[in-house]
Each structure stands twice: as C-alpha cells, then as structure tokens.
Structure 1
Amino acid sequence: MGAERDILPDEKPTMQEKSQSSRPASGAAKINIARRIDLTTLRLFIAICEEGNLTRASQREAIAPSAVSKRMHDLEEMLEVALFERHPNGMALTPAGESLLHHARVTLLNVEKIAVDMAEHARGVRGHVRMLANLSSIVEFLPDDLPGFFRAHELVRLDLQERPSADVVRGVEEGVAEIGICSADVSTRGLERFAYRRDRLVIVVRTDHPLAGATDVSFADTLDYDHVGLFATSSIYLRSHYTAQQIGKSIRLRVHVPGFDAVCRMVQAGMGIGLIPDRAFEVLSHGMNLTAIELTDDWADRELVLVARDPAGLSATSQLMLEHLRSPGRPH
C-alpha cells in the first residue's frame, strides 16, 4: 500500500491477546460497542483504507497522525479484533477489517441520507424514495408509471439512478436504495421480488439491410452481420453473448454503446444491427428509417421484477411507491 510504514501502538499482540480477540463479545459488550463507536473514527478508518496509508489519511482528514493512530488502536481494542496487518511497506486489511469497511460505508451513507431527508422536510417535502432501475425500465415503463404516483403524492421526491440489473440487486442489498427494478434473469439472492412488466427483444436494422424484409429471425441468423452492442455489463448483452457461445459462434461486435438511443443512432449510421426491447424501439426510433424484426428465441421474451430487502420494513413513502408499481390497475 503506502511506501512508508504506519506504526500503531501495540503493533504485535501477544498470543494471549490474539486468543482473546477471537472470542465473541457478550451482549453487554455489544451494547457498549454500539455506544462507543463514533462517526469520526469510522470516517478515519475509511480514509486509511482508501488512501492505503495512515499518514495520507490524516492529511486528508486534517487530523494529526498520532491522533489517527490512537483512534485506530482504541477501535481495535474495543472490537477485540485486528483490523490491519502491519507490513514494512504499509498496512493491509484483515478479514475483520474488510467487514468493518463495508459496515462503515453503509453507516456513513445512512447518516448522509438523514441529513438529506431532514433538509427536504424543512423545505416542505413529505417523503423521499430511493430507487435503482435498469435501463429498460427507465426507458420503457417508468415514464408511464410515475406520473400517476406523483399526481397523488405531490410532495414526495424520487431519487432514481440507472444501473445494470446485477448492480441494482447489489445496491438494494447494501442499502443504497429501498426499491430496485431489474431483469428477472439475474440472481436476486435474498431480496423479495415481485413481477413488474414484460417486454420482448427485437433486432433493429436499417430499411436497406438484407434482413429488413423478414418478419422474424432467430438470433443465430443475425450472427453473420455486424452488431452494435449495449455496454458489456447489461443483461441484454450478457444474454446475447452467452447465446452466441452456446451456438458455437461469436458476435461480430463493431462497437459498445451506453443506451438504446445510441444503438438506434449507430444502426442508422450503418455500423451494424442492434438488439433492444420492442417498447424502447417504439419510443426512440421515430424518423430514423429503421425497422424492427421480431426475435424468435424464447429468451427474447423478458420479465422485469421489483426487488426490496424487506417490504414491510420500508418507509411509508417507499411502501406507497412499491404498491403503486405492483398495482394490478396500472396500465400494461
């Protein structure tokens, strides 16, 4: 990590201390820990992890290195575990340190959310929903689904971020958002999931392309042509790449692009053919001299799902949003 060595007090614990550090804390000790850990110490711990060096972390946080060292020593003593391995060229996290880093980041993120929520309530906002969603749901369905919710709840604010489906699941697990929308193809692990919408993938071509006259086509038959692909972590690209491998072929990929509109523009420019959802094509392709061909493969019929860690534990506002998006009265 850092070039200089970071030395903390009691750098080499005795065998007895190591043995003691492996014993689980009692119930009373756990309560005491919860009361004694402060946000400044967690922030300093994260800084050391990110900077890889105690001295640089102390400079970043404008705190004397000796004070940072003392806080880390006290933190390890309180938790009864070693958080760092000390090496001649720096410090490395132990497994316990890796675990604490995750919890520290989530804790500070939640504190930031408190500040944002309180500031919004001071301005008259009566609720805040954080949602992660994949590109398909943002382009195809949320523009139709959200206006009705906000007509009924005018003082609610939505923080909506676009992420690949796998990152949606990860973000909801880590508490970045309360609700997520992702492809049903990805593993949602321990999250609760609910049906949301369905779409179907189509092949987008220029009207002068050799495939333009076809009413439908298998994905295998498209592999003889150049492709414009979505970003490499998108569920659509991963699924098409896997299918090509199963067939024993490869995709003749000319370019990766970040969104459905970029796929259409590149296809229009003659860079190849594209694979996008049918609803996205309807929304984005007007006036572009493109046509969509139905894909016959079963996997082209896709399901999008809503995910949440604990629906019953959501804030009242987030529960309202989840119920709205699950509502059978919502137009399909």
Structure 2
Amino acid sequence: MSKRLAELERALGVRLLTRTAKGMAVTPAGETLLHHTRRMLASAEQIALELAEHAKGVRGFVRMLANLSAIVQFLPEDLQGFLAAQASIRVDLEERPSGGVVSGVEEGAADLGICAGGTEFRSLRTLPYRRDRLVLVMRADHPLAGADGLAFAETLDHDHVGLHAASSIYGALRTEAQRHGRPLRLRMHVPSFDGICRMAQAGMGLGVVPARVYDLFGPRMQLTAVPLTDPWAQRELRIVTRTGPLPPAAQLLLDHLRPPAG
C-alpha cells in the first residue's frame, strides 16, 4: 500500500500524506483527491443502479432537484400524475435549498430543478412553475392570532422559529428584519415545515410557511394562520434547466410540469 501511495504521489506531483513517527496525516492535496474520489465512486454506484433499472425495463431516468416548498406543496401530485402516464420512467428527486438547486443543475448533477423565483439563476434557462404566498403560523392564544393580515415588521417584537439558514424563506426574513434595523428574535432553526409547525404548537414562537403548507399541517395541530401582507410574501417558483436539448425523459417531465402557454 505504501508503494502504491508513493507511486500515486509521483504521478500527481503532490504530497498526499504527511508521514510522522506517530503515523500519517492527510495533506490539503490529499483532502482534495479524497473529495473527488468519493464523488467518482458515488457516480459509479449511481451508474450501476440506473443501468440495473434499464435492465428491468425502465426507459428513462430523470434526476431532479427541488427546494422544500416545491416538494411539500406541489410535486407529490405533479409527479404522481407524470409517473402514472409514464410508468417506464424513474425520477430521482433530491431536496436542496434554492441556491443549491441552481448549482446542482448547472454542474450537471440533475437534469432540471425547481427553486424560488428570487434566486440568481446564472447561466440556466428558467420557466414559471407555480406561485405561493407566505403566512404566519402560531397558536390560537398567541397575541397576534386573529389578525386579518400582518406586515413582517409587526412581528419583530415576538420570537420566531425558522427554517435552516440556507433556505430562501429564512433569507427573506433576515433581510426584512435588517431593512427595518431590527434583530430577528430567532429561537431556533429547524429542517422542515412540519418542524416549524410543531415548534409553533409547543409555543416556541411564530413560524413563516407557505399557505398550502399550513393547510397540510396547521389545522390538525390546532394552529392559526395570518397572511403576511409584504409584497415579497407573494412568491414564484421557477423551473431551471441547462441550455440546449434535454434527455427525452427529462423533456417529458418538463412538459408535464410547466404551465400551458397563455
């Protein structure tokens, strides 16, 4: 093994390991090689899995990235309808924050993605997907419960529970608080919308979620919802793809997801 490692170092022209009396440590160059090697092994494993699917009669495989809002609100029904019509196609769906969706599609990790409309799309082609609006969720005994609508600035005297720091919703809340020169009283980050609702149910603070998410989780937790009146609370979700032709299976899914013209 030592001989093979030494040969690899000579071939690459860099030191991969630092040898000491107590053992070996990975150098920065070694860490870089390890990172890319793991990606190559994962890709090889994925190739084997997808080829096995083709051997079973699958005629297409679509890799898709989407943010949490799209996955929870719209994609279950949309993908169910697509797969019912295209039984020989498989969809590999992965959740990422909107910025990660753009990066993944741009780098070729997915054929198409869905992300928030305010995301920097860089070189990608974009198409409209759906619209949603954000609401505040809270317990019925919260001081703000019962309002017909609230600007986000009116909530800054109260505790909040937020999505993870990379989410577009949390980014919008933080930006709005900074615009008003106020701190966002965030008690905790949670990884999911149902987590926000559960924490709001426990009295940990206000949560901001899409209205359709509240419809799914809020009533059964005895929560109430108040619409946010800020213009940024009316949101657009967009489909992103690389420029140029898509694989046939991905094009079929794109055609299914995008709204009809006009």
Query: Secondary structure of the equivalent of 1:217?
Result: coil
Q: CA RMSD in A?
A: 2.4
Match of 2:126 in 1: 193
Match of 2:236 in 1: 303
Match of 2:256 in 1: 324
Instruction: Give 1:222 deviation, angstroms.
Output: 0.5
Q: What amino acid does structure 2 have at the position aligned with 1:328?
A: P
Match of 1:244 in 2: 177
Match of 1:231 in 2: 164
Instruction: Give 1:102 deviation, angstroms.
Output: 7.6
Alignment deviations for residues 232-261 of structure 1 (CA, whole Å, 9 cap, x no partner): 211101110111011111111122211111
Query: Secondary structure of the equivalent of 2:122?
Result: coil
Contact (CA 8 Å) 1:130, 1:159: kept in 2 or not?
yes
Instruction: Give 1:68 deviation, angstroms.
Output: 3.0
Match of 1:92 in 2: 28
Match of 1:172 in 2: 105
- Aligned equivalents of 2:212 and 2:14: distance in 1? 50
Match of 1:115 in 2: 48
Instruction: Give 1:226 deviation, angstroms.
Output: 1.1
More strand by share: 2
Contact (CA 8 Å) 1:229, 1:255: kept in 2 or not?
yes
Q: What amino acid does structure 2 have at the position aligned with 1:275?
A: V
- Aligned equivalents of 2:96 and 2:118: distance in 1? 15
Contact (CA 8 Å) 1:311, 1:319: kept in 2 or not?
no
Contact (CA 8 Å) 2:9, 2:16: kept in 1 or not?
no
- Aligned equivalents of 1:273 and 1:295: distance in 2? 12
Larger radius of gyration: 1
Query: Secondary structure of the equivalent of 2:7?
Result: helix
Instruction: Give 1:105 deviation, angstroms.
Output: 6.0
Instruction: Give 1:309 deviation, angstroms.
Output: 2.1
CA distance 1:124–1:215, change in 2 (3 Å): same
TM-score (ref. length: structure 1): 0.70
- Aligned equivalents of 1:209 and 1:296: distance in 2? 19
User: Which 5+ residue runs of structure 2 have no aligned equivalent?
Assistant: 21-25
Residue 67 of structure 1 pairs with residue 11 of structure 2: no
CA distance 1:311–1:102, change in 2 (3 Å): farther
Alignment deviations for residues 152-197 of structure 1 (CA, whole Å, 9 cap, x no partner): 1012111111111111122222322221111122212112221111
Alignment deviations for residues 20-67 of structure 1 (CA, whole Å, 9 cap, x no partner): xxxxxxxxxxxxxxxxxxxxxxxxxxxxxxxxxxxxxxxxxxxx2212
More helix by share: 1
CA distance 1:290–1:310, change in 2 (3 Å): same
Instruction: Give 1:131 deviation, angstroms.
Output: 1.0
TM-score (ref. length: structure 2): 0.88
- Aligned equivalents of 1:210 and 1:92: distance in 2? 53
Task: Pick which of 82-91 and 181-190 moved more.
Answer: 82-91
Residue among 209, 220, 228 paired with 1:287: 220
Contact (CA 8 Å) 2:99, 2:119: kept in 1 or not?
yes
